Amino acid sequence: MTDHMIESTLSELERYYDTVPRVGGARAEDFGALTLFVQEGAGWPYYARPALGGPEATPADVQRVLERQRELKAPEAFEWVAETSPSLRTAVEAAGLHVHAHPLMVLDPSAEALPPHPDVRLLGADDPLLTAAVTVPALAFAAPGTAVGEAGPAELAAATAQPSAEEGRARVAGKLAAGTSAMAAAVRDGVVLCSGMYNPVGDVAEVVGVGTLPSARRQGLALGVTAALVAEALARGARTVFLSAGDEDVARVYARIGFRRVATALIAEPQG
């Protein structure tokens, strides 16, 4: 991608980032340089991010938002793109927050589609495996990286028996039924081994939450799930498909299906 194409894409992603929480039912509170998204009722706990078209945020702006998040008992979290808001990292670190960096990647329009993975399929709102599919990424992200881990089907069964798993299923089922998300999963012998989603806004779609049960890693399942989500997003009219990789190793996996790094996504939250 040329520098002009990257700049245009990042502007497009800024509009997406400003829109998707609103579509997801969040209330937007204006803090000048920053917008705080507050979830109304049950749903994804959102964050603060740079206001669309606003000035660079100062440490004082960050402190005002933090005070409001604490008042609301909302997560003390900020998300932004390093290249688009370069001074925000200094401001949030001055407030004592820890910053995580993630490769921000966009699908190359010329990338060739992978053949469908035999274990991967799309899930509907009433799919009996939806609870497990919603739960798998939590187990995956609890043991980050690409190395094979210990958590497997037994741990998944225990996790899906928790009340929070049903709450997650209901939330995702509503999004699938409304067409505001799509989910794919790798299923073998009736067990969900990997799952992920994408969230569309207009003709832009973000692939999110792709996670593999740690004991099932290194089998190409995340690649297959991501490829299925990309194919579905493109079939539904998406023109730009993007994601944030967990780390550089994960980014190399996504590069195999045509995702190219264009920037760095940053997430700030309290240390530990």
Tell me, what's the pLDDT at 23? Answer: 87
Tell me, what's the pLDDT at 58? Answer: 94
**CB neighbourhood size of 129 (10 A):** 18
Q: What is the DSSP string of the chain?
A: --HHHHHHHHHHHHHHHHHHHHHTTEEEEEETTEEEEEE-SSS----EEEPTT-PPP-HHHHHHHHHHHHHHT----EEEETTTSTTHHHHHHHTTEEEEEEEEEEE-TTPPPPPPPTTEEEE-TT-TTHHHHHHHHHHHHHS-SSS--S--HHHHHHHHTSHHHHHHHHHHHHHHHHTS-EEEEEEETTEEEEEEEEEEETTEEEEEEEEE-GGG-SSSHHHHHHHHHHHHHHHTT-SEEEEE-SSHHHHHHHHTTTEEEEEEEEEEEE--
**Sheet containing 191-201, strands listed edge to edge, beginning at the edge strand earlier in sequence:** 26-31, 34-39, 48-50, 78-81, 259-270, 97-107, 240-244, 204-212, 191-201, 182-188, 120-123
Distance CA 264, CA 3 (A): 15
Q: Note down pLDDT in tens along the chain; length 272 residues.
A: 677 788 899 999 999 999 999 988 899 999 999 999 998 776 678 999 999 999 999 999 999 999 999 999 999 999 999 999 999 999 999 999 999 999 999 999 999 998 999 999 999 999 999 999 999 999 999 998 889 999 999 999 999 999 989 989 999 999 999 988 999 999 999 999 999 999 999 999 999 999 999 999 999 999 999 999 999 999 999 999 999 999 999 999 999 999 999 999 999 999 87
Domains and CATH numbers, the chain: 3-103 (no CATH), 120-256 (3.40.630.30)
Tell me, what's the pLDDT at 5? Answer: 81
Tell me, what's the pLDDT at 125? Answer: 97
Tell me, what's the pLDDT at 42? Answer: 64
Distance CA 13, CA 19 (A): 10
Tell me, what's the pLDDT at 1? Answer: 67
41 beta partners? none
Distance CA 258, CA 106 (A): 8
**179 close to 251: Cβ distance less than 8 angstroms:** no
